[in-house]
Amino acid sequence: MATTQDIAINQATAEPADGAPAVAVEDLCKSFGGFNVLRGITLRVGRGETLAVLGRSGTGKSVLLRLIIGLESPDSGSILIRGQDTAGLTLDGMGEIRKKMGFLFQSAALYDSLTIAENVAFPLDHHRKDMSRSERSDKVDALLTEVGLPSAHQKMPSDISGGMKKRVGLARALALDPEILLLDEPTAGLDPISSGEIDELVLKLQREHQMASIVVTHDLHSAKTIANRLALLDQGKVAIEGSFEDLQQSDIAFVKEFLKQS
């Protein structure tokens, strides 16, 4: 677990050279069918920093990630990716920003008509035309080896387990060497051993790639393991943000209840 000193160091190095945080979310609001899911969320994540977003089911954690990657539009508020406001961008304009981001879906969302290798190669095939076919193949090999699946190339998504799907999804998210990694429930639905393996993998990737990461989870143990900072959402707002020790020392009733039940 990260110490307060580690967090201070991470936050000090959080700002990239140009001064803008990797991800800055300001007063973000989003509603669906009249139901306010997010009611003014403000969060910042710097380079090399990992923020875990916790909360009960239905509190808008995944919606927050979908807003950041541009799969949903906010009702109000702003989202800045490395200082660039994403509001009003076209699909192709947003695409340029998405090239800097990797997204692991809760369900992994692998393309079921493609093999594992083709899934991982998908972003490379579309955005790295400068790479030769053999270079792309080598990159896919390296990514699959990195996530611990060196011999799964020709398997189909339907032939592999949930944990393996998450690994493949992670390899695909890393294909374009993103500066920002968004992980939606990376350990949900996995057994404790597989969850631990995914956590270790995420930690290893953070050490090696120095990406800014936002991890949405309801798994407090996983959040403690992989994040420098935690943000707990309640009723569409950030109830508390800080280290795990900050959460433990909080007097907020919801925070106490959440920690007690986790």
Alpha helices in the chain (DSSP H): 4-12, 61-69, 91-98, 116-127, 133-146, 162-173, 192-209, 220-226, 244-248, 253-261
Contact call for residues 133 and 194 (beta carbons, < 8 A): no
**Interacting residue with another protein among 18, 91, 193, 251 (CB under 8 A):** 91
Q: Of 20-28, 122-130, 138-146, 251-259, which segment contacts another protein by CB under 8 A?
A: 122-130
Task: Return the C-alpha torsion angle 2, 225, 45, 109, nearest 10.
Answer: 170
Q: Of 28-36, 135-143, 197-205, 244-252, which segment contacts another protein by CB under 8 A?
A: 28-36
Task: Return the C-alpha torsion angle 71, 52, 96, 115, nearest 10.
Answer: -80
DSSP 8-state secondary structure symbol assigned to residue 213: E
**Interacting residue with another protein among 92, 130, 208, 251 (CB under 8 A):** 92
Extract the tokens encoding 125. Answer: 């095939």
Residue 112 makes contact with another protein by CB under 8 A: yes
**Interacting residue with another protein among 1, 8, 83, 95 (CB under 8 A):** 95
**Angle CA(213)–CA(27)–CA(2) in degrees, nearest 5?**
30
Question: Which residue's CB is nearer to another protein, number 7 or number 43?
Answer: 43
Residues 208 to 237: which contact another protein by CB under 8 A? none
Contact call for residues 257 and 250 (beta carbons, < 8 A): no
Residue 109 makes contact with another protein by CB under 8 A: yes
Rounded least distance, CB 59 to another protein, Å: 8
Contact call for residues 187 and 201 (beta carbons, < 8 A): no
Residue 96 makes contact with another protein by CB under 8 A: yes
Binding mask 70-89 vs another protein (x if CB under 8 A, - otherwise)? xxxx------------xxxx
Binding mask 33-72 vs another protein (x if CB under 8 A, - otherwise)? xxx-x-------------------xx-xxxx--x--xxxx
Give me the residues that bind another protein (CB under 8 A), please: 32-35, 37, 57-58, 60-63, 66, 69-73, 86-96, 98-99, 101, 103, 105, 107, 109-112, 122-123, 126-127, 172, 176
